[in-house]
Structure 1
Amino acid sequence: MKKVPLLARIIIAIILGILIGSVATEWLVELFATFTGLFGNFLSFVIPLIILGFIAPGIGSMGRGAGKLLGLTTGLAYSSTVAAGLLAFFVAGTLYPFMLQGQNAAQLENPEEALVEASFTVDMPPVIGVMGALILAFIIGLGISRLKGDALLQVMDEFRSIIQMVIEKVIIPLLPFHIFGIFANMTYAGQVQTILNVFWKVFIMIILLHLVYLAVVYTLAGSLHKMNPIRMLRTMLPAYFTALGTQSSAATIPVTLKRVKKVGARERVADFSIPLLANVHLAGSTITITSCAMAVMYMQGHAAGFSAITPFILMLGVTMIAAPGVPGGAVMAALGLLESMLGFGPAMTSLMIALYLAQDSFGTATNVTGDGALTMIANRFTK
């Protein structure tokens, strides 16, 4: 039997959570709350390990060889990711007061207090704080890039494999149950109508922002090569739809490589840039995370200003480096920043995961398609 895609499992979990939460008794909701509490604690424990396991080897491996092309490609990727996040911030800041009017602090001021509490909990303190993990990851990554030997890089690569296995075998399979429990609890507490009203509005806005972003980067790439950007985008469509189905930039690399070469990128530039960009360029995911985070904050009655969101976006562009090539990898890597920089609590984090995963495949498809435009820009400025 073919495995049910994660997006389908998330949708089923939300629907079942709403249906069961509307008829469940308090003791049953308390049982769900106990599981979500335990899972949430485990997630908090793993977050610093995810940051350390993916950022350190990502930075370490990027700092080796390839000279000018490496610097140009990573610079383009980071600039694109930050610009996409700022685009999402300005659009969301402009539209949310109208789109989400009435769905603010008056209805959802303190969701944790309204929800049914777990019958028991197990404390799982992280071995290191989020900011500590970020700083340590930067130190190790930069150190690896300067060392001549590969021993430490191999150790960190193996550590990354362990963390990725935890994500693939534990976190991702249990996420639908976690989201089911959250929505059952919110339905029982009478909050779910507000959540669903936000879902579809934010979803449509994010998809439109993805399209605007792709139009801009392909217009830039097309103007540099004197090519028709619409024709370039049309050539890249197979990569877009492949990523839409796989929800993985890494799994789409062969298709992306083939299509970007057909667009006109030189073979050596494409062979270097596409695998690198699949790990470090997450413009579509950044649009989604920024938009969803602002929606969740708006529902809590908190207005996210430019001074608060900009550092978050700048750090997000680094934190998601080499995010695991599994569905939901980007939001997993971002959870630490959401908690430490934007003050997200357990309920806000769970809602954020649900909002993000509901359209994860579209963000991944935008990342992959944007890789083609950045490769063509790099192709223009290298010999």
Structure 2
Amino acid sequence: METSRPRLGLLPKILIAIVLGIVCGQFFPNGLVRVFVTFNGLFGNYLGFVIPLIILGLIAPAISELGKGAGKWLAVTTAIAYCSTMFAGLMGFGVSMALLPRLLQGKTVVDLTNPEDALLAPYFKVEMPPVMGVMSALLLAFVVGVALTVVKSDVIRRGLVEFREIVELVIVKTVIPVLPLYIFGIFLNMTAAGEVWRVISTFLGVIVMVFALTAVLLLIQYSVAGAIARRNPLTMLKTLMPAYVTALGTSSSAATIPVTLRQTIVSGVSESVASFVIPLCATIHLAGSTIKITCFSLAVMILYGMPIKTSVIIGFIMLLGIMMVAAPGVPGGAIMTATALLTSQLGFNEAQVGLMIATYIAIDSFGTATNVTGDAAIAAVVDTLVERDGGMARA
């Protein structure tokens, strides 16, 4: 009897894609690299089209299933996400003030271009405009989902459930299988361009500090979630590693939603709560991005000899936590949203903002990976609270 070969899991595929992208980027000719860049452009536009549908298709029916307490759980989830983001920013502020003066001692301001400008361009583009924006999809999901907890409409509710099945089919058949190739193309292009590595080498000490902070943040988040949900935090964190590595490759919280959702459910969170929390937090919970923006902002201020006032930085972090809600879940979305705060609150000029964008985008993926992995910790907390409250039957 012939035995079937064991299938390679998503995590090994993504790791292989990252390694191959870095290796092949060393010797692939630009013409061949641009073939993969063209594919990435097409798939990226497809993701941009699908993401609002994923948000609407997953969140709206999940909110309706929460019952009459939907508004309360929406508020609870948002509050937890904001507190997590605030904590991340304040932790980054405290550690930066203790370590950055030493790490940046003797460093000078460098002239860096945006790494994205150095990347190779695709051969052609096909525009795939989404039906609606991410925030529009999120608000529509809230309105329809909450309304269905009050209005008894089995037809609309059944339609939303069937729409969710379509979205889940799209995720399983057209998004997850192609992610490794997409990630390969991203790392291939970055390696061939070389600009990213120049930025990383310039701010290596700060980058190592930020990476360590994101790891500590995840341990704290999962320790709290594990204590509340009465589960092993390390086991939960290990289960979410495919989502973490996927986000490393895509640098997009929204593009990682399918993997994050799947692994969150595998970790023990009910499907109804996971379908509600994960797409929502992909838009409003950017703790990892907040750490990066806070630390790099302080690094730029120290390099330029700008005055650092505690009250100003705390105010900046509080506003940043709110602004992050409006950040699209696409690569570089958080820093582009934060540029207005950098100029208005911290007094950055155009050159300083450019330096922030360059350093942020160079290691965008680490913050994104922290964001999406932390989303599952919030889902575990909300799931436990919902279960204790008796607000939803476990799926």
User: TM-score higher than 0.5 here?
Assistant: yes
- Match for residue 327 of structure 2? 323
1:296 pairs with 2:277: no
SS in 2 for 1:342: coil
TM-superposition CA deviations, 1:95-118 (whole Å, max 9, x none): 011111123xxx559x8xxxxxxx
Decide whether the 8 Å contact of 2:326 with 2:337 is kept in 1: no
2:92 equivalent to 1:91? no
The alpha-carbon deviation at position 196 of structure 1 amounts to 7.0
Instruction: Determine if the alignment matches structure 1 residue 253 to structure 2 residue 257.
Output: yes
State the Cα deviation string for residues 247-293 of structure 1 (Å, max 9, x = none).
Answer: 11111111111111111111111111111000000000000000110
The whole-number CA distance in structure 2 between the counterparts of 1:262 and 1:68 is 26
Q: Is the 8 A contact 2:240 2:264 kept in 1?
A: yes
TM-score normalised by L of structure 2: 0.59
User: Contact 2:255–2:330 (CA<8 Å) still a contact in 1?
Assistant: no
In 1, Cα distance between equivalents of 2:354 and 2:228: 43
Question: Cα distance 1:276–1:102, how it changes in 2: closer, same or farther (>3 A)?
Answer: same
Is the contact made by 2:200 and 2:362 (CA closer than 8 Å) also made in structure 1?
no
Following the alignment from structure 1 to structure 2, what is the Cα–Cα distance between the partners of residues 108 and 248?
29
Give the count of matched residue pairs: 255
1:84, 1:286 within 8 Å by CA — same for their partners in 2?
yes
Q: Distance in 2 between matches of 1:294 and 1:198?
A: 16
The 8 Å contact of residues 210 and 291 in structure 2, kept in 1 or not, is answered as: yes
1:198 to partner: Cα distance: 4.9
Write the letter of the residue equivalent to 2:371.
N
Specify the code of the residue in structure 1 equivalent to 2:340. Answer: G
| TM-score where L is the length of structure 1 | 0.60
Q: Which amino acid is the alignment partner of residue 301 of structure 2?
A: M
Give 1:361's aligned residue. Answer: 365
- For the structure 1 residues 196 and 231, does the alpha-carbon distance in structure 2 shift closer, same or farther, using more than 3 Å as the test? closer
Unpaired runs of at least 5, structure 2: 1-17, 26-58, 65-69, 112-134, 148-188, 391-395
Matched, 1:334 2:332: no
CA distance in 2, matches of 1:330, 1:196: 19
Alignment of 1:79 onto 2:83 = yes
Contact 1:239/1:256 (8 A) holds in 2 = yes
RMSD across aligned positions (CA): 3.4
Q: Distance between the aligned counterparts of 2:316 and 2:322, measured in 1?
A: 10
Residues 30-81 of structure 1: per-residue CA shift (max 9 Å, x gap): xxxxxxxxxxxxxxxxxxxxxxxxxxxxxxx99x982111011100110000
Counterpart mapping for 1:119-198 below 5 A: 198=202
Which amino acid is 2:258 matched to? P
State the match for 2:162 in structure 1: none
Choose from 369, 378, 381 the match for 1:377.
Answer: 381
Match of 1:219 in 2: 223
8 Å contact kept, 1:100–1:198: no
Contiguous gaps of at least 5 residues in structure 1: 13-60, 112-136, 150-175, 184-192
Task: Find the aligned partners of 2:374 and 2:381 in 1 and give their Cα distance.
Answer: 11
Alpha carbons of structure 1 residues 196 and 270: separation in structure 2 relative to 1, 3 Å = closer
CA offset digits 1:299-325 (Å, max 9, x no partner): 011242321111111111111114122
Give yes or no for contact 1:248–1:364 (8 Å, CA) kept in 2: yes
C-alpha spacing 1:108/1:258, structure 2 compared with 1 (3 Å): closer
Q: Deviations over 1:127-170 (max 9, x none)?
A: xxxxxxxxxx9xxx9xx98xx99xxxxxxxxxxxxxxxxxxxxx
Percent of aligned pairs with the same residue? 47
Q: Match of 2:325, SS?
A: coil
Aligned to 1:343: 347
Whole-Å separation in 2 of the counterparts to 1:307 and 1:380: 36
How far apart are residue 240 of structure 1 and its match? 0.5
**Residue deviations 1:356-383, cap 9 Å, x none?**
0011011101000000001101111113
Q: Which amino acid letter does the alignment assign opposite residue 75 of structure 1?
A: A
Asked whether the 8 Å contact 1:244–1:365 carries over to 2, the reply is yes
Letter in 1 for 2:308: A
Three-state SS of the structure 1 residue aligned to 2:254 is coil
In the other structure, the counterpart of 2:273 is 269
Structure 2: distance between partners of 1:199 and 1:302: 18
